[in-house]
Amino acid sequence: MSQPAPQPAPQNPDDAPKSATNVPALEVGAEWLRGEGELSDVLLSSRVRLARNLAGRLFATKATRRDRQETLDVCREWLMRAELASKMIWVDLHGSSPLDRALLVERHLISKNHSKGKGTNPNEDPRGVAISVPDERLSIMINEEDHLRIQAIRSGLSLSQAWADIDSVDDKIESKLDYAFSPRFGYLTACPTNVGTGVRMSAMLHLPALRLTGELEKVKRAAQDMSLAVRGFYGEGSEAVGDLFQISNQTTLGKSEQQILQDLEGDILPKVVEYERLARRELLAKRRVGLEDQVWRAWGALSNARLMNTDEAMQALSLVRLGATMGLLRGASGTQDSPDPRTINQLMLLVQPAHLQRAVGRELDQEQRRVARASLLRSRLLRPKS
Same domain, 191 and 284: no
* Euclidean distance between CA atoms 197 and 292, whole angstroms: 46
Alpha-carbon distance values, 310 to 230, 285, 315, 382 (Å): 22, 32, 9, 19
Mean pLDDT, rounded, for 24-35: 65
Q: SS3 of 160, please?
A: helix
* Euclidean distance between CA atoms 105 and 120, whole angstroms: 19
One-letter amino acid of 288: R
Q: Which of 196, 228, 259 is the last residue in one of the domains?
A: 196
According to the model, what pLDDT value does residue 25 have? 55
Query: Which domain range does residue 65 map to?
Result: 48-196
Burial 328-340 (b: 16+ CB within 10 A, else e): bbeebbeeeebbe
What's the angle, vertex CA 134, arms to CA 310 and CA 237, rounded to 5? 40
Same domain, 189 and 284: no
Residue 209, domain member (yes or no): no
Percent of the chain whose predicted confidence (pLDDT) is above 90: 72
Residue 3 has pLDDT above 90, yes or no: no
* Euclidean distance between CA atoms 39 and 182, whole angstroms: 38
Same domain, 169 and 306: no
Count of domains for the chain: 2
**φ, ψ of residue 370 in degrees (nearest 5):** -60, -40
pLDDT per residue over 178-218, tens digit each?
999 999 999 999 999 899 999 999 999 999 999 999 999 99
Comparing 382 with 98, the larger pLDDT belongs to: 98
Q: Give the helix/strand (H/E) hosting 289.
A: helix 269-304
Q: Which of 132, 161, 196 is the last residue in one of the domains?
A: 196
According to the model, what pLDDT value does residue 166 have? 95
Residue 139, domain member (yes or no): yes
Residue 12 has pLDDT above 50, yes or no: no
Q: What is the CATH number of the domain that holds 137?
A: 3.30.590.10
Per-residue confidence band for 29, with pLDDT thresholds at 50, 70 and 90: low
pLDDT per residue over 78-130, tens digit each?
888 877 767 899 999 999 999 999 999 999 999 999 999 998 888 899 999 99
Q: Which of 196, 217, 245 is the last residue in one of the domains?
A: 196
Per-residue confidence band for 311, with pLDDT thresholds at 50, 70 and 90: very high
Residue 234 has pLDDT above 90, yes or no: no
Residues contacting 222, CB < 8 A, separation 6+: none
Q: Give the helix/strand (H/E) hosting 130.
A: strand 128-132
Residue 27, domain member (yes or no): no
Largest CA distance in the chain: 68
Residue 4, domain member (yes or no): no
Residue 263 has pLDDT above 90, yes or no: yes
Same domain, 52 and 178: yes
Say if CB 46 and CB 153 are below 8 A apart.
yes
Residue 158, domain member (yes or no): yes
* Euclidean distance between CA atoms 196 and 185, whole angstroms: 5
Could you tell me which of 338, 291, 340 has the C-alpha nearest to residue 319? Answer: 291
